[in-house]
Amino acid sequence: MEPSTERQQQQQQQQQQQQEPVSGAAKPPPRQPHKLLDAFSFLELSKDLSAAEEELRRRVRDICETQIAPIAAQLWETAAFDRRLLDACRAIGPAGLQIKGYGQQQQHQQQQHQQQQQQQQQQQQ
């Protein structure tokens, strides 16, 4: 027998032995799902949040874990949208409106622009 063929047979035997369960050996306990880490506690970002912001963060996380995560993979695989997601988002509150400063600069600029246009129109009349 050639050395390379002999080596291949030995490797195959080793693989089979590794795959075969050892008789009398106890099965390992089933694995528990991994616990999601809270990135906010790891990075200590919560210390900079007010009580209201911390409560909002908790509500968003709870809704994501209980209502969105269980169906997210299925929706992704089927490229579908479930309107229940809108209800879940509604439970959080007005989308982004509770965050101070979110989009306010642009809104302020738009209001100023509209006021200037109105003034120009009034002056022309």
Strands (E), the chain: none
Greatest CA separation for the chain:
105
pLDDT at 13: 77
| Mean pLDDT, residues 102-110 taken together | 64
Q: In the prediction, which pLDDT does 50 show?
A: 86
pLDDT above 70: residue 87:
yes
Residue 78 banded pLDDT, cuts 50, 70, 90: very high
Q: Between 11 and 68, whose confidence is greater?
A: 68
Please tell me which of 3-17, 27-41, 75-89 the model is most confident about, judged by mean pLDDT.
75-89
In this structure, of 56-65, 71-80, 104-113, the range with the lowest mean pLDDT score is 104-113
CA distance 55 to 73: 27
Can you give the pLDDT at residue 79?
A: 92
Tokens of 59: 């509500």
What is the arithmetic mean of pLDDT over 8-21? 71
Contact 92, 59 (CB under 8 A): yes
CA distances from 54 to 60, 87, 113 (A): 10, 21, 36
Return the residue matching tokens 């968003």: 60
Report the residue count for the chain: 125
